[in-house]
Structure 1
Amino acid sequence: MTTLADLTAALDTAYPPKLAESWDSVGLVCGDPADKLTRVLFAVDATAAVVDEAIDWHAQALVVHHPLLLRGVDTVAVNTPKGALLHRLIRAGCALFTAHTNADSADPGVSDALAAAIGLTVTGPLDAKPEHAVDNWVFQVPRTHTDAVLAALFAAGAGGSGNYRDCALRMPATSQFRPMAAANPMRGALGELEHVEEERVEVLAPSAARSVVAAALRAAHPYEDPAYQVSERAPLPSSLGIGRVGTLPEPESLRTFTDRVAAALPATVSGVRAAGDPARTVYTVAVCGGAGDSYLSAATRLGVDAYVTADLRHHPVDEHLRRGGPALVDAAHWATEFPWCAQAESVVRTALPDLETRVSTVRTDPWRVRASS
């Protein structure tokens, strides 16, 4: 039987919590990891209407993008709006799980789903996260002791490379040294030049494990003061990060592209609007699900023809266009993130095929009324 712990493990694998921004709140909000699951509902927001749908459908878990509890929450009393929703979920035996900025930066993530809906072929992130810092350790050790030293370093966290473990480069080497008066050499005589057949070894290790690896090397190495060198790999961009950049199947005008975006996303009262020359040719496109005005300069640096996001404001847009930036297409916040729900549902269906899943049909965009004229 599938449990809530199985669900959270599948979602954490797809959207690693370590990718979340420091200010964010992601993961399991309420629920017992040991509880059994049969039904899971997906939505952008945990609004009252979405909670109604989850409870009416007898879902045991609700997975959302936006955190219900984020800033300044010091009570979940039932007489508060957020507390009332949590109490209803808990009483109904329905867990709540959030994947927010970790889902934004994952590969694939929120903006991949948006890009796919629009019909883009993704080429990379809009604002790439650097790969995690990695140290390269280089040292020499007598051949008779290489295996023991490597075992100690592997136990300390070194030697990992992607999906591989116990990785090392070993090369024959000849070392020389002259023990001085205060030395206590493993071999050789004081004052005499000694030559030793050794191996030159290189291993990778997380920079966060630097002190642990150093201690393991000193403890396992036969020399009283082993020589080693540590260099940190320069930060390199990865496939992870906010937003995506891609290309259309064929170039088209901004007017036609705006219609494409509107047709790809669920309809909202605010609709889809564009800033720029309607006749401008659009082929390369950047997208960012949710509020993306902080990445206007990134889209400009990349030289894309258009940038699709949400919550754009008058003055930043005006200044952006004055600087010659790409055309802008502004859609509703909820609409740009809604395609992620199907992506997350697919992740869970693949990992946990016994579960019954569905995406909420409730539109949680808060804007409801458009003027009649």
Structure 2
Amino acid sequence: MMIVRHAAHRDLDDIYRLAQRAGESGIGLTSLPQNKEILAERITRTANTLAGLVEKDDASYLFVLEDTTAQKIVGVSAIEVAVGLREPFYNFRIAKQVHASKALDVYKTLDTLYLSNDHTGCSELCTLFLDPEYRVNQNGKFLSKVRFLFIAAFRRYFEERLIAEMRGFSDANGFSPFWDALGNHFFNMDFAAADYLSGVGQKAFIAELMPRFPLYVDLLPNEARAVIAEVHPQTKPAAKVLMSEGLKYQGYVDIFDAGPTLEANTADLRAVKESRLLKVNIAEQIERAEVQYLVANDEYQDYCVLLINNKLQDNDNLLMTAEQAQALKVAEGDEVRVLALEKMENH
């Protein structure tokens, strides 16, 4: 059985193994570093957040996808409650600047890059990685969309704006055309080093060395301009999932690889608008449906979610097997939060 829950310290070795697997996918996945100390600190932050021991500038939730049959962690995803409150959160805002002269009959609109802190205080989706061997049976969508269901259940802990930084383009050798054309001129390090420092919390330090005046996009080489707001091929499926839940590109890109930032109002998320609370009815025989559903117990400190294809009844009840109810730690008559994995056109 596959189940999503909060990360715990017993998961550290498995999470570290996933970080090593992520490293095999190439440079650019910065939020899951191959560093046990940093990963352990992420787990501690989750525990402290759930216990109410931290302010929102340090609050974070790290989720794991567990294969209970194999007894191992096969995926991770996370939410940062509010970015940029402890160290500045930087990205580039793509803006337009008009150059005009009536005397010369010239009117030209040029794209510019402005160093921005506009997303300070936003909640952020991050740290999504699934073991390649488990990229089947909708596990990837399950692991990603669980975060939306958690936000829907506990909106009071999150900000009104939600963002997600998408990995930008780099080739198989880790070469980033955008970094080579811009960031490389301001730092004595290659993209891999800058990318790693960003992932372990040094992004603000590096960003402070970036030029603060507008940068004209037209002055960059063609190769760099071509990848602005482009999602890395390996990240396109993840971006598509987020966009299906209500996030979209609004003109902000990463300062290192120019990957797009997706964003949405929390109130506009599909999970917030469409998830519903149903009562559990335990039954021996369950009729299966083609539609799959995320089902969560809505227990803040002991959060668990399953992906099931039980057919919903016409009333306010959800039939579940005893095994499913036990996995979710719910009993007959308890309420669970339910959301279709995919948006239903006739909803």
> Is the pair's TM-score, using the shorter chain for normalization, greater than 0.5?
no
User: Normalising by the residue count of structure 2, what TM-score does the alignment of the two structures yield?
Assistant: 0.25
Q: Which structure is larger by alpha-carbon Rg, 1 or 2? A: 1
Bigger RCO of structures 1 and 2 (CA < 8 A, at least 6 apart): 1
